[in-house]
Amino acid sequence: MSNLLKTELYKLFHSWYFWGIGIFNLFLSTILLLDSKGKSSNLIMASLYNVPLLYFLIIVFIALFIGSDLGRRTLNTYITAGHKRSCILWAKVIVSQIGCIIILIFPLLMHGVISQFCMKEKFIWGDNGYTILLVTLLAMITMCTLPIFLAFIFRDMGRTLAISMVLFFVMIFFMNSEYAQTIIKILPMGQLRLISLQKFYSIDFFLLVDFLWNVILYMVAGNVFLHIDLK
Amino acid sequence: MNSIILEARGLTKEYKQTIALDHINLQIKKGKIYGFIGQNGAGKTTFLRLVTGLAFPTSGTLALWGKSSKEELQKQRKRIGCMIETPALFPAMTAYQNMEVQRIQRGIPDKSIIKRTLDMVGLQDTGKKSVRNFSLGMRQRLGIAIALLNTPELLILDEPINGLDPAGIVEIRNLLKSLNKEYGMTILVSSHILEELYQTASEFILIDHGKIIEEISDHDLNERCKRHISIKTTDVQKTVMVLEDNLHTDNFRLMPDGTIRLYDYLNDLELVASILAESHILVTGLSVSGDTLEDYFLSKIGGMKDVKSPKN
């Protein structure tokens, strides 16, 4: 397992798209602040407000990092080298999530630093600051779980990208529909939007929903990957 | 018993409407080079995918070094190096980086093995060139290098000489032979280029429609194909004497039409010609004749049923 993690990290940091998407995400997130600054209390929350919109970059990253690895059969070399499929799955999931979180959090950190030191903004977390941080992190992880799940189901870059994008637009559509009040709480990208607007409703509910999303999607992905014939 | 490193018993793989492998029984023994021969869709790659763990059998058992449980098979696969179908490479990375990925995942501590393996396949000078700019032959070589990285006990190569130029084919053939000789590496290689397989392998496995139709050694194959040097001269008696005295062989037959079939020196036609010339024998015909592996394979699977001869 440790060899697989090291290999995946090597692949992550040697991939042009990780750095490319990361930098583009920072650029786009900064541009979008012009729109979101007025909708939230401070710059870091304005940055968090944009995270759901930048989800498409995560979809592209996952399609390239997992979808193409399965499509090009480069992941198969782990199996032929005698690694357990479950270890391969988890190594890929862990490093993919690390990549996604770095991409998503980097602009938040940059904007947070600018907010604190240049704009002298004060951010009040309240009593449950760490819980909010945890929920934010879990919502981000859960948001990234969907394309990871689809990548293991379809094992192909094109379909992973296309279906994830369709679902992204469907989620955006529902978040603007008449059911938005309900939908927004059960979708991780909706939760992030609520957190950015500091509408925390029920933190426990967010945690439970995200936990269930992860358990269900990884159980299905694992079940498929462990038993499927690979190309 | 210890010499058997791979054993398949009743190995079957069914897809929705087709049987890709039909109760395969097969043994691969240590230290030999096996040529895996079959038409497209015969089941070669399916068998190799089952051996390497990429696919699961519908029924039957597979044992590697005598171990057949799921966990044990997984462990034994660490002793295998393989390239199935096209090489699995990262196009944006260099040859060295591709090898580094495999070195890390296999937990090989010695970094210098990468350079040694790249040297072995003739890719030592690719530098910072990314794999996407490699020719088909270079990719093939890199795929072989990856398969060799862990100095495997069993090397499985599926169509390894696809895309290689003639010089590359000879290089890879010599490499496989030297790996087999120096390290005692067992090699299972499938190829459509049967003449090439004939020069590389010592054992042949013929597969058709998911069934093993024959396992045969190169010695037996030569016997059955009756490969020989056909010699026609103006003086048969003298030729026979020269063969016995100068080439020290009695492994020949005199045919009714006066042709001599020599079963030795098959790869040394020039030597036979020069010795006959030195003995002042007028040679009117000298050629290697007999069935090729291709002819033999086609005869075993029932010939080219649907292919009409151009003469007809």
Residue of A nearest to B57 (CA): A229
Residue B153 · residue B5 · CB < 8 Å: yes
CA–CA distance, A8 with A78 (Å, rounded to integer) = 11
DSSP lists the bridge partners of residue B206 as B37, B214
A10-27 per-residue burial string, b: 16 or more CB within 10 A, e: under 16: bbbebbebbeebbeebbe
Computed over every residue of chain B, the mean pLDDT equals 86
Number of H helices, E strands in chain B: 11, 13
- B84 contacts A80? CB cut-off 8 A: yes
- B5: helix, strand or coil: strand
**Chain B residues whose beta carbon lies within 8 Å of the beta carbon of residue A14:** 93, 97
Percent of chain B with pLDDT over 70: 95
Q: Which tokens go with A105?
A: 């959090």
Is residue B71 assigned to a domain? yes
Residue B42 · residue B209 · CB < 8 Å: yes
Q: Which tokens go with B246?
A: 């100068």
Percent of chain B with pLDDT over 90: 36
Whether residue B56 lies within 8 A of chain A, CB to CB, comes out as: yes
- A76 contacts B78? CB cut-off 8 A: no
CA–CA distance, A90 with A222 (Å, rounded to integer) = 9
Which whole-number Å values give the CA distances from B53 to A40, B2, B63, B120, in the listed order?
53, 22, 12, 27
For the CA atoms of chain A, what is the radius of gyration? Answer: 18
- A229 contacts B49? CB cut-off 8 A: yes
Of B165, B190, B222, the residue at which a domain comes to its end is B222
Is residue B296 assigned to a domain? no
- A3 contacts B88? CB cut-off 8 A: no
Residue of A nearest to B89 (CA): A74
Residues B200 and B59 grouped into a single domain: yes
Residues B165 and B280 grouped into a single domain: no
Which ranges of B93-135 does DSSP label H, i.e. alpha helix?
95-106, 112-120
Nearest to A76 among B88, B97, B101 (CB): B88
Of residues B83 and A180, which shows the higher confidence score? B83
pLDDT by residue for chain A (231 residues), tens only, comes to 889 999 999 999 999 999 999 999 999 988 888 777 777 667 888 888 888 889 999 999 999 999 999 988 899 999 999 999 999 999 999 999 999 999 999 988 888 888 777 777 666 666 677 777 888 899 999 999 999 999 999 998 999 999 999 999 998 888 888 888 888 888 888 888 888 887 766 778 888 899 999 999 999 999 999 998 888
Residues B218 and B113 grouped into a single domain: yes
Torsion angles phi and psi, residue B266, rounded to 5: -60, -30
Residue B300 · residue B214 · CB < 8 Å: yes
Residue with tokens 């929350």: A45
Q: Which tokens go with B187?
A: 């090699």
**What pLDDT was estimated at residue A127?**
66
Angle between helix A129-154 and A188-196 (nearest 10): 150
Residues B194 and B241 grouped into a single domain: no
Whether residue B105 lies within 8 A of chain A, CB to CB, comes out as: yes
Confidence band for B255, pLDDT divided at 50, 70 and 90: confident
Q: How far is B194 from chain A (nearest CA, A)?
A: 25
Confidence band for B309, pLDDT divided at 50, 70 and 90: very low
**What pLDDT was estimated at residue A93?**
95
Mean pLDDT within B13-32: 90
- Whether the per-residue pLDDT at B301 is higher than 80: the answer is no
Chain mean position to CA A45: 17
ipTM above 0.90?
A: no
Of B222, B250, B267, the residue at which a domain comes to its end is B222
Query: Measuring CA to CA, which residue among A74, A198, A32, A202 is closest to residue A126?
Result: A198
Residues B75 and B135 grouped into a single domain: yes
- B97 contacts A14? CB cut-off 8 A: yes
Beta strand pairing status for B80-83 and B203-208? unpaired
Is residue B57 assigned to a domain? yes
**Chain A residues whose beta carbon lies within 8 Å of the beta carbon of residue B145:** none
Is residue B298 assigned to a domain? no
Whether residue B89 lies within 8 A of chain A, CB to CB, comes out as: yes
- Say what the pTM is: 0.79
What residues of chain A have any CB closer than 8 angstroms to a CB in chain B?
A: 3-4, 6-7, 10-11, 14-16, 72-74, 76-84, 227, 229-231
Residue B170 · residue B161 · CB < 8 Å: no
Residues B214 and B182 grouped into a single domain: yes
Residues B107 and B243 grouped into a single domain: no
Alpha-carbon torsion, ordered A177, A181, A187, A188, to 10 deg = 120
**What pLDDT was estimated at residue A218?**
93
Beta strand pairing status for B211-217 and B203-208? antiparallel
Residue of B nearest to A2 (CA): B105
**What pLDDT was estimated at residue B307?**
37
Q: Which tokens go with B237?
A: 């008696």
CA–CA distance, B207 with B225 (Å, rounded to integer) = 18
Q: Which tokens go with A186?
A: 């059960």
Which residue type does B112 have?
A: S
- At B159-212, the pLDDT tens digits run 888 777 888 788 888 888 888 888 889 999 998 777 778 888 889 898 888 999
Residues B272 and B151 grouped into a single domain: no
Sheet (strand B59-64) strand order:
B19-29, B4-14, B59-64
Whether residue B94 lies within 8 A of chain A, CB to CB, comes out as: no
Q: For chain B, how many structural domains are there in total?
A: 2
Q: Which tokens go with B23?
A: 């109760």
**What pLDDT was estimated at residue A99?**
95
- Domain extent, residue B180, equals 4-222
Torsion angles phi and psi, residue B85, rounded to 5: 55, -125
Which residue type does B13 have?
A: K
Residue of B nearest to A6 (CA): B104
Residues B153 and B83 grouped into a single domain: yes
Residues B87 and B161 grouped into a single domain: yes
Please, which residues have CB within 8 angstroms of residue B271's CB and are 6 or more apart in sequence?
A: B247, B265
- B93: helix, strand or coil: coil
Confidence band for B42, pLDDT divided at 50, 70 and 90: confident
Residue B148 · residue B99 · CB < 8 Å: no
Is residue B61 assigned to a domain? yes
Residues B63 and B165 grouped into a single domain: yes
Residue of A nearest to B76 (CA): A82
Torsion angles phi and psi, residue B80, rounded to 5: -105, 145
Residue B286 · residue B273 · CB < 8 Å: yes
**What pLDDT was estimated at residue A126?**
62
CATH number of B264's domain: 3.30.70
CATH number of B60's domain: 3.40.50.300
- Whether the per-residue pLDDT at B1 is higher than 70: the answer is no
CA–CA distance, A136 with A191 (Å, rounded to integer) = 8
Handedness of CA B71, B72, B73, B77 (dihedral sign): positive
Is residue B297 assigned to a domain? no
Whether residue B219 lies within 8 A of chain A, CB to CB, comes out as: no
- At B208-253, the pLDDT tens digits run 889 998 888 887 777 777 778 889 998 888 999 998 888 888 888 8
Residues B188 and B235 grouped into a single domain: no
Of B165, B188, B222, the residue at which a domain comes to its end is B222
Is residue B185 assigned to a domain? yes
Is residue B309 assigned to a domain? no
- Whether the per-residue pLDDT at B312 is higher than 50: the answer is no
Nearest to A79 among B53, B97, B107 (CB): B53
Q: Which tokens go with A27?
A: 């650029």
CA–CA distance, B259 with A56 (Å, rounded to integer) = 77
